[in-house]
Amino acid sequence: MFDAHLVQEFQSLGTPFYYYDLSVLQQTIDAVSTYGLSRGYHVHYALKANNNDRILKLMRNAGFGADCVSGEEIVKAVESGFSPGTIAFAGVGKSDEEIRTGLANDIFSFNCESLQEISVLNDMASGMNKKVRIALRINPNVKANTHKYITTGLDENKFGILAADLPELLDNLDRYAHLKVTGIHFHIGSQIEDQQSFRDLCEKVNSLQPLFEQRGITLQHINVGGGLGIDYAEPDEHSVPDFERYFGLFSQHLELRKGQELHFELGRSLIGQCGSLISRILFVKEGINTRFAIIDAGMTELIRPALYQARHRVDALTSSKPPKIYHVVGPICESSDTFRTDIPLPEVDRGDLVAIRSCGAYGQVMSSDYNLRKRAEARYSDEFMPDSHS
């Protein structure tokens, strides 16, 4: 990903910054097209993973819809050219204003997460004299085998309607004259590497479909959410996630009814591997049995290690000396501001550059100005083409 020319260009730039390799992104989009869209599946890009304008444009041009979790994301998606008819809106706590934004835009579907939300939405739709498409977000109680902070589909999680509450809800749908149930929605978690979790989800969906059929409710679409994990340890070997296997699994195990559409909401797997956080070594400090490489990026630019104990690969870009063992840490006044502990890196010194890999998803979007730090900029690979200065 980082050839000599690129690293040379980086050296003249202020750090830290996010670097997005558009060729990796294009390969990723192409794989989704080949294995997903070509099957007739619908993919909604989860804006929450990265909402940079350039990225959104590429996702829209790829033929993806949008997956939004706030009113502002809906506004952003529409401004970025996503057709409102492709916008799914999930969220366990939608404010009245956000609901109004969704209603005003006639979005593809409100993914409703509680009985009370359904009732409020119906009242608001009635006030605007509209009939609104909704999908019921059902909590499937399926284990995602991922970090507990990003597990969303277990009974104890706040998301979705409990399967046990469904029969009564479905029996009383005629109370909601301004809503039309067009689909069901699931999202069991994020950074899922165990394919069995997706198989379990398929089986759960299969077991729920008859509940609707018995009541004469036609489900036009099944939305299985997102969650496909990426390889944080070896981002170059697996720069594009295995979409053939992922979509193939749903194709094989999900029993879609005739005419039923299958929708996905992918975030991390689309945008994660194309992004890196480029940072400079400020100081190297010998500790007790440790050696700290103190870099100019911190938890303000990438909070995942501090929040989820995530391990992002760190590559030294400007040293090829024999390796030493380092703790790679940021400058923020918290000990959780640590990217990696005890990793070998070619010996580095003040001024050397490092790349923290797999930062495209949930990196820049989760950044903050804690400690009054300036927001890091985004840079894109096409700025650095050999002839881009001529």
Q: Interface residues with ligand LLP (CB under 6 A)? A: 46, 48-49, 67, 90, 150, 187, 190-191, 225-228, 265-269, 304, 308, 361-362
Q: What minimum distance in Å lies between the beta carbon of 170 and ligand LLP?
A: 22
For ligand LLP, the closer CB: 182 or 269: 269
Go through the chain and tell me how many residues it has: 390
> Across the strands, what pairs with 275?
20
For ligand LLP, the closer CB: 190 or 239: 190
How far is the C-alpha of 146 from the C-alpha of 175, rounded, in Å?
38
Cβ atoms of 62 and 33 within 8 Å: the answer is: yes
Q: What minimum distance in Å lies between the beta carbon of 187 and ligand LLP?
A: 4
Give CA angle at 45 (40, 51), nearest 5°: 160
| DSSP conformation class of 48 | G
For ligand LLP, the closer CB: 67 or 98: 67
Q: What minimum distance in Å lies between the beta carbon of 201 and ligand LLP?
A: 13
Q: What minimum distance in Å lies between the beta carbon of 83 and ligand LLP?
A: 19
For ligand LLP, the closer CB: 183 or 225: 225
DSSP letters, 291-347, are EEEEES--TTT--HHHHH-----EEESS--SPEEEEEEE-SSSSTT-EEEEEEEEE-
| DSSP conformation class of 282 | E
The dihedrals phi and psi of 224, each to the nearest 5 degrees, come to -95, 10
Q: What minimum distance in Å lies between the beta carbon of 112 and ligand LLP?
A: 12
- Beta strands 338-346 and 323-329, pairing class: antiparallel
Of 173, 203, 169, which is closest to residue 186 (Cα–Cα)? Answer: 203
Q: What minimum distance in Å lies between the beta carbon of 51 and ligand LLP?
A: 13
For ligand LLP, the closer CB: 36 or 226: 226
Cβ atoms of 96 and 71 within 8 Å: the answer is: no
Q: What minimum distance in Å lies between the beta carbon of 91 and ligand LLP?
A: 8
Q: What minimum distance in Å lies between the beta carbon of 164 and ligand LLP?
A: 21
Q: What minimum distance in Å lies between the beta carbon of 147 and ligand LLP?
A: 7
Cβ atoms of 210 and 174 within 8 Å: the answer is: no
For ligand LLP, the closer CB: 6 or 303: 303
For ligand LLP, the closer CB: 308 or 370: 308
For ligand LLP, the closer CB: 292 or 308: 308
For ligand LLP, the closer CB: 178 or 312: 312
Cβ atoms of 343 and 5 within 8 Å: the answer is: no
214: exposed, middle or buried (C-beta count within 10 Å: 0-12, 13-18, 19+)? exposed
For ligand LLP, the closer CB: 109 or 318: 109
How far is the C-alpha of 361 from the C-alpha of 365, rounded, in Å?
8
Q: What minimum distance in Å lies between the beta carbon of 274 and ligand LLP?
A: 14
> How far from chain centre, in Å, is Cα 83?
20
How far is the C-alpha of 110 from the C-alpha of 117, rounded, in Å?
10
93: exposed, middle or buried (C-beta count within 10 Å: 0-12, 13-18, 19+)? exposed
